[in-house]
Each structure stands twice: as C-alpha cells, then as structure tokens.
Amino acid sequence: MSYEDKTLTCADCGAEFTFSAEDQEYYTSKGYSEPKRCPACRAAKKAQRNQNRRPRKQFTVTCSACGCETTVPFEPKGDRPVYCAECYKNMQQ
C-alpha cells in the first residue's frame, strides 16, 4: 500500500500537523488509528499522565551481600535477603 503525507488538525489546539507517510505505515502495522492530537499536545498529555502517577515509595535497607545502605521499591519482609543493585546484578551473572 502506498502512503502520502496528510495534513491533520489537532483536536486539542486546532493546529495543523503533518501525518507523514512513514508514520502512517507504522500506525497501520501496529493497528493504530490516525492521531487526533499534534505531537506537542500528545507530549503534553503524556507528561500530564506521568505527573498524575503516584510515586513509588522507597524503603531504605542494608544490602545482605556488601552491607551498603540502599533503597528498594518494595517493603522487605525480613524472611529473604535484600541486595543493592550492584550485588543483585553480580548475582544474576
């Protein structure tokens, strides 16, 4: 299928933007519909979504392997060892 650049109008700000042939091919391959927002409005909406996310609570722990203090995004239960990122990475190898 052959695609040609299209000019679309943003549903949020009303600005015209180009929906390139390359982007159309990508959207089609993923099963996406045409974008309704210009790139700037899409980026602003994504930033707003990310801002509304609750930050993960971090817990301060002592690494079971090297003894350094680090933080983890879960509350340790005490029945299993907890490692810093470096020690965990070394254990995976």
Same domain, 45 and 65: no
Only one residue has tokens 């015209």, namely 16
Q: pTM value?
A: 0.55
Same domain, 47 and 64: no
Same domain, 65 and 84: yes
Please give the average per-residue pLDDT across 52-57, as a whole number: 83
Q: Classify residue 1: in a domain, yes or no.
A: no
Same domain, 42 and 79: no
pLDDT digits (tens, 9 = 90+) for 67-92: 999 999 999 988 999 999 999 999 88
pLDDT for 92 equals 86
Same domain, 41 and 63: no
Confidence band for 50, pLDDT divided at 50, 70 and 90: confident
Counted domains in the chain: 2
Same domain, 47 and 75: no
Task: Give buried/exposed letters for 32-70 (b at 16+ CB in 10 A, else e).
Answer: eeebebbeebeeeeeeeeeeeeeeeeeeebebeeeeeeb
pLDDT for 56 equals 83
Q: Classify residue 81: in a domain, yes or no.
A: yes
Q: How far is CA 17 from the centre of its chain?
A: 24
Same domain, 44 and 24: yes
- Contact between 64 and 80 under an 8 Å Cβ cutoff? The reply is no
Confidence band for 13, pLDDT divided at 50, 70 and 90: very high
Residue type, 61: V
**Cα separation, 66 vs 68, whole angstroms:** 6
Which alpha helices (DSSP H) does the chain contain, by range?
21-30, 39-51, 85-92
Domain that includes residue 29, residue range: 6-51
